[in-house]
């Protein structure tokens, strides 16, 4: 018999040191870019701890590698953050 259990998709979360390693950016640069809407805001994972969805960091890295201008990256950040709200509304 074949089991057809459907598990929800798991979104890996990256803590700040992993985000720094993945992007090559320092803590201060990450938070400076968040303030300028060039980097997605972190999500709270409990207490004062935060993390970033791995797919968001991958999307930002891909946009940077592709040479996208800052206005397109700002739009991407807004889309990524809006998708969080849509995702939580579906649950």
pLDDT tens for each residue of 75-91: 999 999 999 987 666 65
Cα gap 54→71, rounded to integer Å: 22
Helices (H), 1-91: 16-23, 27-35, 54-65, 70-90
Which domains are delineated in the chain? Answer: 13-90 (1.10.1660)
Q: What is the pLDDT of residue 8?
A: 74
Average pLDDT, the chain: 92
Q: What is the pLDDT of residue 4?
A: 67
């Amino acid at each position: 018999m074949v089991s057809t259990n459907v598990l929800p998709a798991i979104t890996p979360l990256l803590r700040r040191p992993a985000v720094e390693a993945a992007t090559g950016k320092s803590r201060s640069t990450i938070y400076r870019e968040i303030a300028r809407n060039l980097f997605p805001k972190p999500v709270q994972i409990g207490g004062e701890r935060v993390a970033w969805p791995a797919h968001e960091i991958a999307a930002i890295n891909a946009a940077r590698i592709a040479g996208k201008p800052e206005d397109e990256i700002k739009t991407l950040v807004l889309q990524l953050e809006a998708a969080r709200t849509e995702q939580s509304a579906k649950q």
